[in-house]
A and B are shown apart, each in its own frame.
Chain A
Amino acid sequence: MHAETGQLEKKVALVLDKYQHDKGMLVSILQDIQEEFNYLPRESLEQVSKTLDIPFSQLYSVTTFFKALRLTPRGRHLINVCMGTACHVRGAVKVLESTERELGIKSGETTDGLEFTLETVNCVGACALGPVVIIDGEYHGQMKTEKVKDMIKEYS
């Protein structure tokens, strides 16, 4: 645990240096830290708070305000169902419901064993393919309720 903490400290310090300890770049700093660790470990927030002289409560506010930042780890596979207007009019809600049923979780949650995280996203600019589901960066277009099961199977 100690060795790990030392590692974390070093990595966070590198990120802070990269942004020259600029308070204005806080969201970018947190995003970079999150890319390192798959989420924002509490210790990293404490370190940022101390180094940048930002009250811990303000850091916590920023972390909980922005949807891109998370305090808990994400699943191995990220499933994003597009809920943009174009996909919505083509039936995205049914696709989401079907996916939730298939995985047994609701949007925003992660399956037991950290296998899948299900999230919604508001428009990825692939409207011609709507409804769109993106898994691990791969686009699955013209998605329908009955195609969801097989789509997920590809990643299990």
Chain B
Amino acid sequence: MVRLTIDEREFQAEEGKTILEVASENGIYIPTLCYHEEVSPYGACRLCMVEVTRNGRTRLVASCLYPVAEGLVVRTESPEVSNIRRTVIELLLARCPDLEEIHDLAKQLGVDKTPFKLENKKCILCGLCVRACEQVVGVSAISLVNRGTDRQVASPFYESPDACIGCGSCAYICPVNAIKIDDIGDTRTITMPNPKMQPTEFKLKKCSKCGEYWAPEKQLEYIAKKAGLAPEAFDVCPNCRD
């Protein structure tokens, strides 16, 4: 266990935890966009930056990645921190002017407009969908392609990825609801925000008891295979199971 100070309050924390984890556990709010506890931290949005002082040296670090240490002094607010958060949100507002969640976050941070030319992108490149697909689901159907300003979330060659099982974890984890899932009748359609990608359709499984369509067949096949179960194990939907 180590002792550290966050915003003048002392805490005890397990070694190996990050500042963000300790702050969250103790109800101290630090804004984030690219962080989710189910996947590894990435440090890309820079909203979670805080000021730390250690061994007499003060600097700004990403709290989602910085491991706690004995005697660490953390300030979650400072003029420099504020400048970073506000400018980051201004940059994101300019990149994705139509995203409600970005507008909400901007308001929260006291920003109501952006000095930069507006673009029209729908994805903030937080990478959460990619990390969820890789680390939680394990199929790596999508990835971050190209480099720099051309960077985008895409499937190989922008085609409907063979590896995708239609589980929708990407849509669930996306902080700006950029990935759409539409379950209509016996079909699930997943639409990625990348304009180069066509929507992908998945056939939904029909429950043998109640007749409701409940999950993509491809997803159920994948889970069955991974769990070593017979495919029939998913013939009945969760509602109808005893």
Contact = CB atoms under 8 A, between A and B. Distances in A.
A60 B141 contact: no
Nearest to A56: B156
Interface in A26-69: 42, 55-61, 64-65
Given A42-B157, A55-B140, A64 B163 contact: no
A55 B163 contact: yes
Interface string A61-102: 100110000000000000000000000000000000000000
A57 B146 CA distance: 12
Contact of B146 (A55, A58, A59, A64): A64
Nearest to A67: B147
Contacts of A64: 145-147
Interface residues of B, number: 17
B63 interface: no
Contacts of B141: 57
A58 B147 contact: no
A83 B155 CA distance: 33
Contacts of A61: 143-145
| Interface secondary structure of B, over-half rule | loop
B161 interface: yes
**Range of interface residues on chain A?**
10 to 19
A68 to B, nearest CB: 12
Contacts of B144: 61
B142 A57 contact: yes
Contacts of A59: 156
Interface in A1-37: none
B157 A58 contact: no
Contacts of A57: 140-143, 155-156, 161, 163
A60 B145 contact: yes
Given A55-B163, A65-B146, A65-B147, A60 B140 contact: no
A65 B150 CA distance: 10
Contacts of A58: 140, 143
A60 B143 contact: yes
A5 B154 CA distance: 27
A93 to B, nearest CB: 20
Most buried by B among A42, A56, A58, A59: A56
Interface string B152-169: 001111000111000000
A61 B161 CA distance: 14
Interface in B107-166: 134, 139-147, 154-157, 161-163
A60 B157 contact: yes
Contacts of A56: 140, 156, 161-163
Most buried by A among B140, B143, B161: B143
A52 B143 CA distance: 18
Interface of B: 134, 139-147, 154-157, 161-163
18 contacts: A55-B134, A56-B162, A56-B163, A57-B141, A57-B155, A57-B161, A58-B140, A59-B156, A60-B143, A60-B145, A60-B156, A60-B157, A61-B143, A61-B144, A61-B145, A64-B147, A65-B145, A65-B146
Given A60-B157, A61-B143, A64-B147, 5 more contacts: A57-B142, A57-B143, A60-B154, A61-B144, A65-B147
List the 5 closest pairs (A to B, CB-CB), nearest first: A55-B140, A57-B143, A60-B156, A61-B143, A64-B145
